[in-house]
Amino acid sequence: MSHLAPTLLAFFTPRSGGSPNANEIDSLYKIVLYLAIVIFVGVVGVLCYALYKFRARRGRVAQQIHGNTRLELGWTAGAVGILVIIAIAMFLKLGAIVNPPDSGATGITLGADGESGRLYASATRHLPPNGKSLEITVVGRQFIWQYIYPGGAGDGLGAPYSFEEMVVPTETTVTLNVVSDDVVHSWWIPELGGKLQAVPGYHNYGWFKISKPGVYKGQCANICGRGHARMIATVRALPPAQFEEWLATQKRELSESEAAAASERAKLDAQRGTAQVENP
């Protein structure tokens, strides 16, 4: 029985538990839910009572009432009052939802060498108080997500990247820069907070911070074509040391394959005698 209540509540609430912003949204949702239940039960209760009590039957005469100004002003004020409460709750919770916290003490070291973490100042984006976060660019593309990690050259080229599965360190504030290469997509991992639409030509910013290692699943939430349902996204959270290891491996493998491709190209060019031709 004691297990039933939380299960039932989870049934009626959004997924959460991966990141503080998702948890804050969940608690804001619950405030609205409790008010909603009261209003729904109240209105339906009055409706059912009226339908039963005032049903036509022998001797029943309808009261010819045209209105009641005081009552009408009263319930208008009541409706306003409820919405004011919801608005206050929304603004109280807003900060914790949109403002990312600093990384935890056990998170990865950020911002030392431009290797990880970038400083941004912009009216539309929120950064942790110390300005340091692991910045990952999320690229929406029919029908796969690509993630670009910090660590490229100055122009961003040569940065490590991965497809479909994003790997992140725990206890580290991750800021997302969501963009699209083609049509409108929407980045969404339910346990890690709300959606961010990927609109071509725009940047959309968000964040999450995971404390428990694990895999969090989601998928593209905006119709993007025939493969929309298969545009899966996962986030794998690893302890910082393992993350650093993964990132190093990813970089090494990428540069190795780049080098291999370059030597293949050189070989082909030599065979065709085009090595001397300048790029047009």
Partner 1 sequence: MATYAAPVPQIVAHRAEREQKGFMSWLTTTDHKRIGIMYLVLTFVFFILGGTEALMIRLQLGAPDNTLVSPQTYNQLFTMHGTTMVFLFVVPVWAGFANYFLPLMIGARDMAFPRLNALSFWLLAAGGLVFYASIFWNPPEAGWTSYTPLSNAFFSPGGGQDAWIYLVHLTGLSSIVGAINFYVTVANMRAKGMSWGRLPLFIWAILTYSVLIIVAMPVIAAAVTMLLTDRHFGTHFFDPTAGGSSLLWQNLFWFFGHPEVYIMVLPAFGMVSEILPVFARKPIFGYKAIAISTTAIGFLGFLVWVHHMFSTPIPEAVIIFAALSSFCIAVPTGVKIFNWLGTLWQGAIEFKVPLMYCAGFIVLFLIGGISGVFLAVFPVDWQLNETYFVVAHIHFVLVGGAVMPVFGAIYYWFPKITGRMLGETLGKWSFWLMFVGVLATFLIQHVIGLEGMPRRVYEYENVHNLALYNLISTIGAFILAAGVGVTIVNVMRSLKKGAVAGPDPWKANTLEWFTPSPPPQNNFDVVPVVRSVEPMKDIRREIELGSGAVVPAGATVPAGATQVGL
- 172-231 residues in contact with partner 1 (CB under 8 A) are 182-184, 186, 188, 190, 193-197, 199-205, 217-229
Pick the piece of the chain touching partner 1 (CB under 8 A) from 36-44, 133-141, 156-164, 167-175: 36-44
- What distance in Å separates the CA atoms of residue 215 and residue 250, rounded to the nearest whole number? 19
Residues 6+ apart with CB under 8 A from 132: 102, 103, 110, 111, 117, 119, 173
Binding letters toward partner 1, positions 224-263, x by CB under 8 A: xxxxxx----------------------------------
Binder of partner 1 out of 8, 12, 104, 261 (CB under 8 A): 12
24 counts as binding partner 1 under rule CB under 8 A: yes
Distance (Å, whole) CA 148 – CA 146: 7
Q: Total residues contacting partner 1 (rule CB under 8 A)? A: 82
Task: Please report whether residue 65 would count as binding partner 1 according to CB under 8 A.
Answer: yes
Interface residues for partner 1 in 107-146 (CB under 8 A)? Answer: 123-124, 142
Q: Which residue has the tokens 């911002």?
A: 111
In angstroms, what is the minimal distance from the CB of 142 to partner 1?
8
Q: Which of 63, 271, 276, 279 binds partner 1 (CB under 8 A)?
A: 63
Of 84-92, 110-118, 157-165, 251-259: span binding partner 1 (CB under 8 A)? 84-92
Residue indicated by tokens 């100055």: 154
Q: Which is nearer to partner 1, 36 or 275 (CB)?
A: 36
Q: Write the Ramachandran bin of 202: left for phi over 0, alpha for psi from -120 to 50, otherwise beta.
A: beta
> Angle 20-53/69-98 helices, nearest 10 degrees?
160
Q: Least distance to partner 1 from the beta carbon of 216, Å?
A: 10
CB of 64 to partner 1, least distance (A): 6
Which residues touch 174 (CB under 8 Å, ≥6 apart)? Answer: 133, 134, 135, 136, 168, 207, 208, 209, 210
Among the candidate windows 80-88, 103-111, 133-141, 244-252, which touches partner 1 by CB under 8 A?
A: 80-88
Tokens of 143: 């029908």
Per CB under 8 A, the list member of 8, 9, 34, 40 interacting with partner 1 is 40
**Stretch of 85-93, 113-121, 155-163, 252-260 lying at the interface with partner 1 (CB under 8 A):** 85-93
If one asks whether residue 165 binds partner 1 (CB under 8 A), the answer comes out as: no
Residue 52: both structure tokens together: 């039963």
Residue 161 phi, psi dihedral angles, 5° rounding: -145, 165
- Which 3 state secondary structure label does DSSP give 207? strand
Q: How many CA atoms lie within 13 A of 154 on its CB side?
A: 0
